[in-house]
Amino acid sequence: MISVLGCRVERSAWAVVLGAAVLAAPAPRIEAQGPPRHYKGDERVALDSALKDEDVQAALLHINEHRKEMSEMLVRLASIEAPSGNERARATVVAQRMREIGLDDVVLEDGPSPNVMGRIKGRSRGAILFVSTLDDLANIAELQRSAPHPPRVEGGKVVGPGTNTSATTASLLAAAAAIEASHVEPMHDIIFAAVAREETGLQGMKRLYAAMGDSVMAVVDVLGDGRSISYGAIGIDWWRVVAHGPAGHTLNGGLPNVNLGIARAVDGIFAIPLPPEKDSTRTVLNIAMLKSGDVFNHKPDSGWFSLDVRSLDAKVLAATEDSVRAVLDRVSAETGIRFDMQEVQRTPGGQIAGAESSPLVRTSAAIARWLGFEPTLGRAGSANMNVAIAGGTPAIGLGGERGGARGTPQEWADVTSMVRSAKHIVLLAATLQ
């Protein structure tokens, strides 16, 4: 038995998912060492070869012919409340569907916030991990409860709260079904995983990666159809900065006052010199929320404000936060207000040298072009892929518009985009060597 970030998982379960031989030694990486030999300029020899395969063509046709079932699966997933930290009901449906498809070694973790995963066996000892997100934004559950009816299919859309995020899981399952039904034999094991708590610190992905990261060649974070492809990760730290001071009535309150300390701290933080806007580190900070006091005639004894700091360079990120602490120390000395920086969430960042020209990125870009668009490449991803990149595993995030009105009663997902996402997954699984 091993403990993985608080989740007890039978080692035998992971051995079943990846195979004992895979866990026995690190899998080979899809290395970032410049353009692979089978590419000549913009040619896509490996992709063209895969597209000539009858089984691959059958898998792509399967996706076209089963778009109704994919839409219905999204309706089912989006009808289930799954706020971050309480995804079990949705994960159970995903696990059931994986078993119906015929995936091998389906594992549903214990607890209220489980990951779920299954695999299609490949011919090598390597494994490629495709990931989607199980949880929704915090306000989605209330929108689901207050909606006049469940999500529904309207033409080329699936409309209703919860549809936008779960569209990627529906695509993931559709791709798995197409590969299984068409008997595509990938070079490597293909692991399909829907992970919990993406919205609250990538907790599910951290747990999954801690258990199997060394056995995975590459990670594909399914966020869309590949209209954009992220190959690097921006570090994001969220803080709650709490101010403490003496309370008092307006008539005898005076100073020190928590709000004076907060005001000067916010002003000082926004005055911190950051690298230029076009600097390669892309360092930024933001204060979005401020809260203190409840009545007009009393000064509060505490208040707080949010702090969001981001950078592609971990050293610059840490230095910026040190500058914030220096501002708080100075303001505390000036006003008599004490500050406490409380960590809320850390999203790890990182860059892998040569990733932009790696086989993983170039293959995905070639697939995007085959799907009909020129992808935008970027190195500032901020989702489940960050965990893998921070751990040194090549990873990409397939971005693109999934629909619209996310987090509102009018939320919707685009079925055609879901189809493209599923095809992108199939072609990556069939093409990566």
Give the pLDDT confidence score for residue 227 in this predicted structure.
Answer: 97
Are residues 174 and 138 both part of a single domain? yes
Are residues 211 and 358 both part of a single domain? yes
> In the predicted model, is pLDDT for residue 340 greater than 50?
yes
State the Cα angle at 106 between 20 and 168, rounded to 5°. 120
Task: Select from 307, 322, 347 the last residue of a domain.
Answer: 347
| Residue written as token pair 């994919």 | 70
Are residues 30 and 108 both part of a single domain? yes
Task: Select from 347, 377, 401 the last residue of a domain.
Answer: 347
CATH code for position 282: 3.30.70.360
pLDDT category at 23 given cuts 50, 70, 90 is: very low
The 8-class DSSP code of residue 220 comes to E
> In the predicted model, is pLDDT for residue 30 greater than 90?
no
| % pLDDT > 90, the chain | 84
Record the tokens describing residue 241, joined without a space: 């900065």
Are residues 114 and 218 both part of a single domain? yes
Measured in degrees and rounded to the nearest 5, phi and psi for residue 163 equal: -80, -30
> In the predicted model, is pLDDT for residue 9 greater than 80?
no
CATH code for position 382: 3.40.630.10
Are residues 107 and 254 both part of a single domain? no
Give the pLDDT confidence score for residue 8 in this predicted structure.
Answer: 32
Give the pLDDT confidence score for residue 373 in this predicted structure.
Answer: 94
Least Cα distance to 319 among 268, 285, 350 occurs for: 285
Are residues 355 and 283 both part of a single domain? no
Are residues 189 and 319 both part of a single domain? no
Are residues 55 and 19 both part of a single domain? yes
Integer angstrom CA distances of residue 364 from 162, 367, 370, 423, 426: 27, 5, 10, 11, 11
Are residues 183 and 210 both part of a single domain? yes
State the pTM of this model.
0.87
Antiparallel, parallel or unpaired: β 302-311 and 290-292: antiparallel
Which residues partner with 243 through β-bridges? 303, 339
> In the predicted model, is pLDDT for residue 302 greater than 90?
yes
| Per-residue pLDDT tens over the stretch 145-164 | 999 999 999 999 999 999 99
Give the pLDDT confidence score for residue 42 in this predicted structure.
Answer: 42
The 8-class DSSP code of residue 83 comes to B
pLDDT category at 278 given cuts 50, 70, 90 is: low
Integer angstrom CA distances of residue 433 from 46, 48, 300, 307: 9, 14, 62, 43
Sign of CA dihedral 117, 122, 127, 130: negative
Give the pLDDT confidence score for residue 32 in this predicted structure.
Answer: 53
Are residues 306 and 364 both part of a single domain? no
Domain coverage including residue 327: 235-347
| % pLDDT > 70, the chain | 89
Give the pLDDT confidence score for residue 433 in this predicted structure.
Answer: 80
| Per-residue pLDDT tens over the stretch 168-212 | 999 999 999 999 999 999 999 999 999 999 999 999 999 999 998
Helices (H), 372-414: 385-390
Q: Which helix (H) or strand (E) holds 219?
A: strand 218-222
Structural domain total, the chain: 2
Give the pLDDT confidence score for residue 214 in this predicted structure.
Answer: 84
Integer angstrom CA distances of residue 35 from 51, 227, 362: 21, 21, 8
Give the pLDDT confidence score for residue 253 in this predicted structure.
Answer: 78
User: If you average pLDDT over residues 365-381, what whole number do you get?
Assistant: 95
Q: What are the counts of helices (DSSP H) followed by strands (DSSP E) for the chain? A: 14, 21
Are residues 174 and 273 both part of a single domain? no
Task: Select from 347, 372, 407 the last residue of a domain.
Answer: 347
CA-to-CA distance for 414 and 303, rounded, in angstroms?
42
pLDDT category at 27 given cuts 50, 70, 90 is: low
Average pLDDT, the chain: 90
Are residues 142 and 97 both part of a single domain? yes
Integer angstrom CA distances of residue 237 from 26, 28, 230, 276, 356: 30, 31, 19, 20, 25
CA-to-CA distance for 169 and 174, rounded, in angstroms?
9
Cα 278 → chain centroid: 25
User: If you average pLDDT over residues 405-429, what whole number do you get?
Assistant: 96
